[in-house]
Amino acid sequence: MNNGTNNTALLVMDVQPGIIERIANKEAYLSKVQAAVDAAHEKNIPVLYVVVGFRQGLPEINPNNKSFSAIKTSAPGYLVNPQTVMPMLEHDVLIVKRRVSAFAGSDLEVVLRAKAIQHMVLAGIATSGVVLSTLREAADKDYQLTVLSDLCADMDEEVHSVLMGKIFSRQAAVVTAAEWLVSL
């Protein structure tokens, strides 16, 4: 699994206020994510934090978008000027996306190209949202992919299990964070 770390990046996606509160055992989850981030830093693997966010007034949200238009009426504050809940180091990168996929409406691809990243290691909330959408788009763009199964969370455990066990493995290596850390 370890094809070198010089072309690898760890993406921590949608681990932000308002979203992290939706999962059970958030402290345990954050602790495991931090361990993976710390290991990435030790190995000089870039860490990219991807968050969903919009401008004041949410002008990017189209009424035809069923998921996001519901948000627009309640206008949660965490979506304007979004931040990750993880402590960032100076060389970490914050990517703001405008839709579910980490690529949609963001500068993710520009950052990946600038850093010559070919292998993306994915973690985030929700498995059926940002992880699924990003994995599918990244696979279509010919990135090598690893999904850290225990660093992905979903409000529906059955959906999480099906995606990890039957879907993601068609396009990515699906491993636990501990397995990935050993391979570094």
Tens digits of per-residue pLDDT, 30-83? 999 999 999 999 999 999 999 998 888 777 878 888 777 676 666 567 677 789
Give the single-character DSSP code of 180.
Answer: H
pTM above 0.85, yes or no: yes
Mode of pairing for the β-strands spanning 144-153 and 173-175: parallel
| Exposure on the CB side of residue 167, measured as CA atoms within 13 A | 15
97 phi/psi in degrees, rounded to 5: -110, 160
Rounded average pLDDT over 109-115: 97
Is residue 170 predicted with pLDDT exceeding 60?
yes
Token couple for 102: 């980490």
The superfamily (CATH) of domain 8-183 is Isochorismatase-like (3.40.50.850)
Which residue intervals of 75-176 are DSSP H helices? 108-114, 132-140, 157-162
d(CA 94, CA 13): 10
d(CA 95, CA 117): 15
d(CA 58, CA 68): 10
Q: Could you check whether the bond before residue 126 is cis, i.e. omega within 30 degrees of 0?
A: yes
At residue 59, the pLDDT reads 79
Domain residue extents for the chain: 8-183
64 phi/psi in degrees, rounded to 5: -75, -15
Token couple for 35: 């361990």
Q: How confident is the model at residue 2 (pLDDT cuts 50, 70, 90)?
A: very low
Is residue 181 predicted with pLDDT exceeding 60?
yes
Token couple for 137: 């788009």
Sheet holding 8-13, edge to edge: 93-97, 47-52, 8-13, 119-125, 144-153, 173-175
